[in-house]
């Protein structure tokens, strides 16, 4: 399998390379992107001789590397991401990009008849209907990389016709033991200390706000064709039970393993065609040594945004995503407070224009409009501090 890896310098990207390195007979890296973090290019090229295409964010950097490696074609910018999908001789695109930038590459992969291993949540949150429509039109294949969705995928492979409900597990993030009152003055530095996973800054903040779980509910809806009311969340301290399903016949089935993203990455790269283990249990109390807590919507109110998006769809996913991206960026830059992230999302969903059946072009326009609106809110909140 020839792999085009988008986001090779990130956490998921690095672990994908680990999986490729450990399975050289089955996988070959032929193209990758690294954005601004170009220092790893030389190391990756030294290890992977089949690479013929590399994408960076900056045009000047692309030109500099082109001179250094004349036998490899260097691309740049958002268009470069699409070019390496089209031009490299890949069989599968691993989309490990973070943010809205991942949507167009997912679409490009499907249109070019590439298998898509997806870690980019925003592709489905923003463009779930478009992605699913294209998968049907092009007879495409999409394999989820998120540990929660990989676990649900495995459970559904065993009990597809006996599933009543999907349940996503959540660590609760860096502030899971704090009250709403205590969240008022937390810092970005505090938020980046995740209790069980090592992830990038954006995803770690999303875990602390629970926006990450909000996104995952939306993803699960699109991936497995379940409604919001058929998807639940359980808080789980250790992140060992990655997600589980409630069975019509009684009891539950889930995947239990150490929190290591290499497992779901490997399962996606092998298209689900390798042995896997799920566990059946009658109740959570049967899982000795693991701790679970009922999900409290009053403590994590952002989850309600998942219902809004899944129920009405349209441009709401784009509004949710962009307002969150801008708010998280502002929080990391100390421009706003932690709870302001929720306020910006809520105001954006309330006030931005809603289009029920948008084209991709309309989604791109609403994304830009939401960005501008979010900046206004960020400025107002910053001035009020």
Check which CATH number belongs to the domain holding 329 and give it: 1.10.1740.10
Q: Which of 144, 175, 200 is the last residue of a domain?
A: 144
Q: What is the pLDDT of residues 16-48, one digit of tens each?
A: 999 999 999 999 999 999 999 999 999 999 999
Max intra-chain CA distance, the chain: 63
Enter the tokens of residue 164: 């009543």
Note whether residue 287 is domain-resident: yes
Quick one: 319 and 290 in the same domain?
no
In this structure, are strands 115-118 and 142-144 parallel, antiparallel, or unpaired? parallel
Note whether residue 81 is domain-resident: yes
Could you give the CA distance from residue 284 to residue 111 in angstroms, rounded to a whole number?
42
Note whether residue 301 is domain-resident: no
Three-state DSSP class for residue 103: helix
Q: Which residue segment(s) compose the domain that 157 sits in?
A: 147-294
pTM: 0.94
The pLDDT mean for the chain works out to 94
120 close to 223: Cβ distance less than 8 angstroms: no
Q: What is the pLDDT of residues 308-319, one digit of tens each?
A: 999 999 999 999
Instruction: Find tokens 């899971």 and name the residue.
Output: 176
Confidence class for position 195, pLDDT limits 50, 70, 90 = low
The dihedrals phi and psi of 164, each to the nearest 5 degrees, come to -90, -40
pLDDT at 172: 85
Mean pLDDT of 288-302: 92
Q: What total number of domains does the chain contain?
A: 3
In the predicted structure, residue 196 carries a pLDDT above the cut 90: no
Confidence class for position 49, pLDDT limits 50, 70, 90 = very high
Could you give the CA distance from residue 56 to residue 239 in angstroms, rounded to a whole number?
34
Quick one: 289 and 339 in the same domain?
no
Could you give the CA distance from residue 99 to residue 79 in angstroms, rounded to a whole number?
16
Confidence class for position 350, pLDDT limits 50, 70, 90 = very high
Q: What is the pLDDT of residues 101-143, one digit of tens each?
A: 999 999 999 999 999 999 999 999 999 999 999 999 999 999 9
Q: Which of 102, 118, 144 is the last residue of a domain?
A: 144
Check which CATH number belongs to the domain holding 70 and give it: 3.40.50.720
Note whether residue 126 is domain-resident: yes
Quick one: 230 and 324 in the same domain?
no
In this structure, are strands 252-256 and 241-247 parallel, antiparallel, or unpaired? antiparallel
Confidence class for position 261, pLDDT limits 50, 70, 90 = very high
């Amino acid at each position: 399998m020839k792999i085009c890896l988008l986001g090779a310098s990130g956490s998921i990207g690095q672990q994908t390379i680990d999986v490729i390195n450990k399975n050289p007979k089955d996988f070959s890296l032929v193209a990758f992107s690294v954005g601004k973090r170009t220092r790893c290019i030389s190391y990756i090229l030294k290890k992977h001789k089949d690479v013929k295409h590399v994408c960076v964010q900056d045009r000047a950097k692309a030109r500099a590397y082109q001179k250094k490696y004349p036998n490899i074609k260097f691309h740049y910018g958002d268009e470069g991401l699409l070019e390496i999908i089209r031009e490299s001789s890949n069989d599968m695109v691993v989309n490990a990009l973070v943010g809205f930038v991942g949507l167009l590459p997912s679409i490009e992969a499907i249109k070019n008849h590439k298998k898509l291993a997806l870690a980019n949540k925003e592709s489905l949150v923003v463009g779930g209907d478009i992605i699913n429509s294209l998968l049907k039109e092009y007879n495409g294949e999409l394999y989820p990389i998120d540990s929660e969705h990989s676990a649900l995928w495995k459970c559904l492979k065993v009990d597809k016709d006996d599933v009543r409900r999907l349940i996503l597990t959540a660590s609760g993030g860096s502030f899971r033991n704090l009250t709403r009152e205590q969240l008022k003055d937390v810092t970005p530095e505090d938020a980046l200390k995740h209790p069980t996973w090592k992830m990038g800054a954006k995803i770690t903040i999303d875990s602390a706000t629970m926006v990450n779980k909000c996104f995952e509910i939306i993803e699960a809806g699109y991936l497995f064709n379940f409604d919001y009311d058929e998807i639940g969340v359980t808080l789980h301290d250790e992140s060992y039970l990655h997600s589980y399903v409630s069975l019509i016949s009684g009891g539950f089935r889930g995947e239990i393993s150490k929190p290591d993203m290499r497992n779901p990455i490997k399962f996606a790269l092998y298209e689900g065609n390798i042995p896997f283990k799920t566990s059946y249990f009658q109740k959570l109390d049967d899982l000795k040594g693991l701790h679970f807590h009922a999900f409290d919507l009053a403590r994590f109110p952002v989850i309600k945004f998942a219902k809004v998006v899944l129920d009405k769809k349209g441009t709401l996913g784009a509004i949710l995503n962009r307002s969150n991206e801008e708010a998280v960026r502002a929080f990391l830059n100390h421009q706003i407070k932690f709870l302001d992230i929720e306020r910006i999302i809520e105001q954006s969903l309330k006030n931005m224009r809603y289009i029920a059946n948008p084209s991709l072009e309309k989604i791109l326009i609403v994304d830009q409009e939401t960005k501008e609106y979010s900046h206004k809110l960020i400025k107002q909140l910053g001035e009020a501090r």
